[in-house]
Amino acid sequence: MVVYKEPVPIRASKASVSAFAEQIAQHLNYDPESSIEILVSRLGGAISYRNAVGDKPESIVVEPAGSFKIFLPTMTSTGRDKFTVAHELGHYYLHFPIIHADDPEAGMKAYRWVDENNRDLQRCEWEANWFAASFVMPKQLFERLFHEGGKEKVVEVLGVSPKAAEVRAGSLGLAA
């Protein structure tokens, strides 16, 4: 029987996590203007949709050998889903290696909605968000698109939600 562990934070800086995300995207030849679903399939993963909050959408289950399934809610936009998939890939690339190194027979389950009193899981969520933002909205490309046409241009070209583009603009010191 497989034991599934919770993610463990890497405790790197936001800048380090962001740089790592952009390196991973480049290594995978991921084009932020393209579909992230194709990348998930290429990595041996799958995406499944769930209806209710009780079914824990916005989560990832990673098997000990590295295959994984990402769960998305049925009622969110494709732009929101793109960020969520990148967030779950953040858990996969940031947190699963720690678990696998400690126990190669263990899997990992990470859920977007964590206990607000669990600081380690909250930290994992921040790290996954930092990863996701840089993975689907790399800094140089984001800044170029933003200067060409603001948040709307970013949303149009990168296929992210307006909220994700707004938050990324703020984190890069650009006026949203």
Gyration radius of the chain's alpha carbons? 16
CA 47 – CA 69 distance, rounded (Å): 6
- Does some domain include residue 56? yes
**Domain of 25, in residue numbers:** 4-137
CA dist 67 and 42 (Å) reads 11
In the prediction, which pLDDT does 53 show?
Answer: 59
**How many other CB atoms sit within 10 Å of the CB of residue 98?**
15
The residue ranges of the chain whose pLDDT is under 70 are 52-55, 176
| Predicted pLDDT at 55 | 65
pLDDT score recorded for residue 56: 72
Cα separation values, 7 from 40, 73, 143, Å: 19, 21, 31
What residue has token string 């200067």? Answer: 147
Which H, E and C letters describe 108-168, residue by residue? EEEECCCCCCCHHHHHHHHHHHHHHHHHHCCHHHHHHHHHHHHHHHHHHHHCCCHHHHHHH
Q: What's the token pair of residue 116? A: 């607000």
Distance of CA 127 to the CA centre of its chain: 9
Residue 155 lies in a domain: no
Within its chain, how far is the Cα of 69 from the centroid?
Answer: 13
**What CATH number corresponds to the domain at position 31?**
1.10.10
The answer to whether position 109 is within a domain reads yes
Q: Is residue 173 part of a domain?
A: no
Type and span of the H or E element at 59: strand 59-62
Give me the pLDDT at residue 116, please: 87
Q: Look at residue 42 in the predicted model and tell me its pLDDT.
A: 96
151: in domain: no
Inter-axis angle of helices 139-158 and 162-171, to 10 degrees? 170
Asked whether residue 70 is assigned to any structural domain, the reply reads yes
Number of domains in the chain: 1
**Angstrom distance (rounded) from CA 103 to CA 121:** 19
Query: Is 106 contained in some domain?
Result: yes
Report yes or no on 47 lying in a domain.
Answer: yes
